[in-house]
Structure 1
Amino acid sequence: MANKNIKEMSFLDHLEELRWLLVRSTAAILICATIAFFFSDFIFNEIIFGPKSPDFVTYQFFCELSQQFGLDKSLCVTEINLPIQNREMGGQFSMHMWTSITVGFIFAFPFILWEIWKFISPALYENEKKYAASFIIISSFLFFVGVLFGYYLIAPLSVQFFASYIVSPEINNSIDIDSYISLMKTSAIASGLLFELPIIIFFLTKIGLVNPEFLRKYRKYTLIIVLILSAIITPPDVISQVIVAIPIMILYEASILISVLVVKNQEKEKLKA
């Protein structure tokens, strides 16, 4: 049965626990951000501005892939004309600070998950609390894989597409640093959180908001949405769109399987009761 401590805690006690969760999580992010601040050369030159180079690993991969499919070098990137500018006096310092905080959030994510687990654990059954380590490891793994997916696939495909997109030769692309950094952060963080879908479905199924039947019913609509998103964030070719769509659909199918397992476990618990 669930821990009775949650029933004994008042609403103010829960708010106090939530406050300390936020305080400790913020402290962890700031500590990681401080460390990242001193590695700015590597973070900016090698990581953030990496997709600006035609030699970036993703472009090389697509170039080889296109040749494997007999497309000659139609997907090969030989040049990326993307000058980046800063138009504000404190723009580079502000960008440095916020980028460090973003990196801090990424590396502090496992600790944040641990804090979230401690917050929700009183509401779990006793036999579920032993899965704390598994929850942290699996959730962190999915998040980091998602971040890498966003960085190595979505971000470079977006950079290459928008850098080469021209509506008129009279218009020169001179991208503001905030716009470029925003694209990189959004691609990485959003993908990382998207890859948490199986974990989210796990908890939504436990509290009864979704079930396997619901997920199967809307599978075709999900596929359409994924394909539309893939078409928006990737260059207008089928290969790159499929490469982006496949992992997302695999996550959705895994979420259905997880939902099935949760429902079966709940039925077993009811029979035991």
Structure 2
Amino acid sequence: MAGFLSNFRNVIVLSLLLAGLAMAGIYWASDANAVMFAIAALRWAHVVCGILWIGLLYYFNFVQIRIMPNVPAELKAGITKYIAPEALFWFRYAALATVVIGLFLAWHRGSIYFSETLSLGFAGGYSAGDIGFAFIGAGMWLGIIMMFNVWGFIWPAQKIALGIKDGTAEQKAAAAKKAMIVSRINTLLSLPMLVTMTMYQTLFSG
């Protein structure tokens, strides 16, 4: 068992197989048609990608950025050359997948829902009943902004800071600071984003 669990690929493959069995059981036990089931599976993928994205965001901010100043100089290369680039790969693509799948799920609920959420409830003229759209729409926009921060600011800056892209020592230091500041912005936005996303599903979506 220890040998099996020490292999990351084996663990992920088995986890996916178990998830697939759970999905098959849910499909069999429910009265959902194929389209409804596919949407439910996409919602699961949206949540998984979101966990990976925000989990890595919190790893960077709760652990790596805070601890790096205390890491001995001779050990920092292990993080900057191996751990950080790998983490950033999963980080940026999880962000992209989370937003793309989320927007597709919103679009699939119909053009009215899609336009109302993105307009914060103002698309068809605002009324008291549109308050739910305002909350989930705010969460969607926060997620979109955070994703653009990842691809537009954090990743380009990290490429310079980590030496993936050439830069002088001054440019690397400036890029590292820029990546840190934008990462802090995403951390700041993450909790209100998660509040609007999770509480909307319970209190407004029925």
TM > 0.5: no
TM-score (norm 1): 0.24
Higher share of residues assigned helix:
2
Larger relative contact order (C-alpha < 8 A, sep ≥ 6)?
1
TM-score (norm 2): 0.29
Q: Indicate the structure (1 or 2) with the bigger Cα radius of gyration.
A: 1
